[in-house]
Structure 1
Amino acid sequence: MPKPTILSSLADRFSRGETVVSAWCGLPDVSTAAILAQEDFDAVVLDMQHGPLTLGEAIRAIPLINAAGKPAIGRIPVGEFQNVSKLLDSGASGVIAPMINTLEDARTFAAYAKYPPLGERSWGSYGGLGASGLDPNSYLREANGFSLSFAMIETREAMAILDDILALDGIDAVFVGPSDLSIALFGGQRIDATAPEVDEAIKHIVARASAVGKPVAVYAPSAERAKAALDLGAKMVTVMSDTALLRSAAQRALGIVRG
């Protein structure tokens, strides 16, 4: 039986204990994701929660990312669980769901991400089936193992039920949003994704997730913060955003030219 290739690569890396360094795309032009997929990133995240990237554009970007030999991960807007299956059907290797603040949120997310008997995902994979290298019945049996669900932990409510979220079979990993987490930790008074309190929270999340063998991913607004998150035990980091990378490169070039 042929094994999944691109689609299983993310799950395979986690199972081997390897770290994943991902690009982060929010710009709507799918060529941006395609360009970043050709660099030495291990994966590409497509963010539909913030910014102008729509579901249709994400679905068009996914095969371009896969064609570069990289897994694609989609982040849905808050509560739009109906898009989880669409992303996986189109060939995404994983989906990130923001603001998972209750067990009901987590169970609903898992239900859309997993086929029966674990979940309620309905049959209709086209890009995913084609990219998997599997026949339909093999895909049905194996997809729950390589179609990864990342529940975002970014509030006090989520921190309070972290162990319960991690205990759900249909949740494969957790994803830390440090900016929103800082807002929660400081009672809505300020935002500071680099605060020591945030690092302590990440350490706690890593410890609890590691105890049950589930990886932790962290959004990093800079390369330095990405390295720090890996040092704290994260198994996946996203390095800046496409917009931030573009502006940073422009500022460096202009500094040299005008300096």
Structure 2
Amino acid sequence: MPAPHNPFKAALNAGEMQLGCWLGLADPYVAEISAHAGFDWLLLDGEHAPNDLRSLLAQAQVIAASNSHAVVRPVIGETWMIKQLLDAGIQSLLVPMVESAEQARELVAAVTYPPHGVRGVGSALARASQFSGIPDYLQTAREEICLLVQVENRKGMAALDEILEVDGIDGVFIGPSDLAADMGHIGKAGHPDVKAAVLDALKRIKAAGKAPGILTLDPEMQKECAEIGVTFLATDIDVTLFAKAIRGSAAAAKALRK
């Protein structure tokens, strides 16, 4: 009995666009609602949201009961963090702030068991192996792990071609907000220079045979990304969706006093 099939990774490998949403509210109730909304994948954010291992696990568990797939972004690409997430049953990771091919190779090693990697062998204790219920987990786990790296500054962009040559990387995500800041346009991800750099990078990723990905709330940018063949595209964020809706509701309520 092998490790559970990763439909998200299979879809990326087949070049099928996967549409997603960012989850930053760090709550299983919100994750469950989102999981049945119809997105292909949901990003559980450990970098910029108030998540820890247990809250990420709780959200991943409710998402597992749906047709959506949980992707987790850890705080940083530390081997010990990755080990914990993998043992918790997370099969798809988006690692932020990758700046070199060497760093990318270290991440590949982190998701791979020895002798080819450094992932700690503790699956007997882990949800990932269904608590020793999957006899072939150790032999088959790596095939179903999807490793996505996030390039989001000028140093990473300069090293992009070398990063794309690293075996074991399934896709590369371009982060426009941090890139805009590093380019001197903080808060202006839609700046023409930033947009041009992002679109060029996405095209290079696709040409290299890796899955290109991005999060953008700009409908026009979403269309352009779809046209060039972006494979995993996040189009919204639960935090901003809720904030916009609740503020609109409050404004409507206040209008009743006039």
Structure 2 length-normalised TM: 0.86
How far residue 108 of structure 1 moved from its aligned partner, in angstroms, is 2.0
Cα distance between partner residues in 2 of 1:141 and 1:212:
28
2:103 corresponds to which residue? 105
| AA aligned opposite 1:237 | L
1:182 paired residue number: 180
* Residue number in structure 1 paired with 2:128: 128
Shift of 1:79: 4.2
Q: Which residue of 2 aligns with 1:199?
A: 195
| Higher Cα Rg, which structure | 2
Query: Following the alignment from structure 1 to structure 2, what is the Cα–Cα distance between the partners of residues 211 and 141?
Result: 31
**1:93-150: CA deviations, max 9, x gaps?**
211111111333222222112223442212234333339xx8332x333322221111
- Rounded Cα–Cα distance in structure 1 between residues aligned with 2:41 and 2:149: 18
Q: Partners of 1:143 and 1:174 in 2: how far apart?
A: 21
Count of residue correspondences: 252
Matched residue, 1:43: 41
Q: For 1:54, give the aligned amino acid.
A: D
Change (3 A) 1:168 1:24: same
Match runs of 1:1-259 below 5 Å: 4-5=4-5, 8-125=6-123, 126-130=126-130, 135-137=134-136, 139-186=137-184, 189-222=185-218, 225-253=221-249, 258=255
Counterparts of 1:40 and 1:207 in 2: how far apart (Å)? 27
Contact 1:94 1:147 (C-alpha < 8 Å) held by counterparts: yes
Q: Deviations over 1:13-57 (max 9, x none)?
A: 112211111121122322211211111010111101112122221
CA contact (8 A) 2:203 2:228 kept: no
CA separation in 2, counterparts of 1:115 and 1:223?
A: 41
Relative distance call for 1:214 and 1:51 in structure 2 (3 A) is same
CA distance in 2, matches of 1:223, 1:253: 23
Deviation track 1:66-109 (CA, whole Å, cap 9, x = no partner) reads 11232211101134332112222222221111111133322222
Alpha-carbon spacing, 1:253–1:226, altered in 2? closer, same or farther (3 Å): farther
Give secondary structure in 2 for the equivalent of 1:238: strand
What is the root-mean-square deviation of aligned Cα atoms in Å? 2.5
Structure 2 CA distance for partners of 1:200 and 1:171, relative to 1, 3 Å: same
SS in 2 for 1:28: coil
In structure 2, give the amino acid aligned to 1:130: Q
